[in-house]
Amino acid sequence: MNRAVGICGENIAARFLTRQGYKIIGKNIKTFVGEIDIVAKIRHTTVFTEVKTRRSFVFGPPYLSVTKNKKRKLIQCALCYLKTKGYPDIDWRIDIISVQLNSSGIYIKKIEHFENAIEWEDYKK
């Protein structure tokens, strides 16, 4: 059930990004250190996007589930992706998209896009 909600959220986030002018490069990209939900491009910037989806506000909004350890892992994944692709000197950032669905998971209640949500300082903490 949780995986289905996650996939739904990732699809919603990809459509949202496309409507905002992003070009989706890939979804569920596996690296040696983990997975990146969405890799997109806007102008000259590569954007690594973590998507968090929930059907309930019991534990707060979805983006709050991105812990300090998850932030470090996302930075490692982005760096690994860039190195593997041979793009060490390009502009990049990590965004979070928070998708709140209704309790049945059918309707979108809220989408929040946090650009540059994870910074290098998060890696060093």
DSSP one-letter string for 57-78: STT--GGGG--HHHHHHHHHHH
Predicted TM-score (pTM) of this structure = 0.89
Residue bearing the bigger pLDDT, 104 or 70 = 70
Confidence of residue 58 (pLDDT cuts 50, 70, 90): low
Map out the domains of the chain with their CATH numbers.
2-124 (3.40.1350.10)
Q: Looking at per-residue confidence, does 58 or 41 come out higher?
A: 41
Instruction: State the pLDDT confidence band at 111, using cuts at 50, 70 and 90.
Output: very high
Mean pLDDT score across all residues of the chain? 86
Residue 1 CB contacts under 8 Å (≥ 6 apart), including other chains: none
In the prediction, which pLDDT does 78 show? 93
The letter for the amino acid at 12 is I
- At residue 42, the pLDDT reads 96
- Integer angstrom CA distances of residue 49 from 4, 30, 104: 18, 13, 25
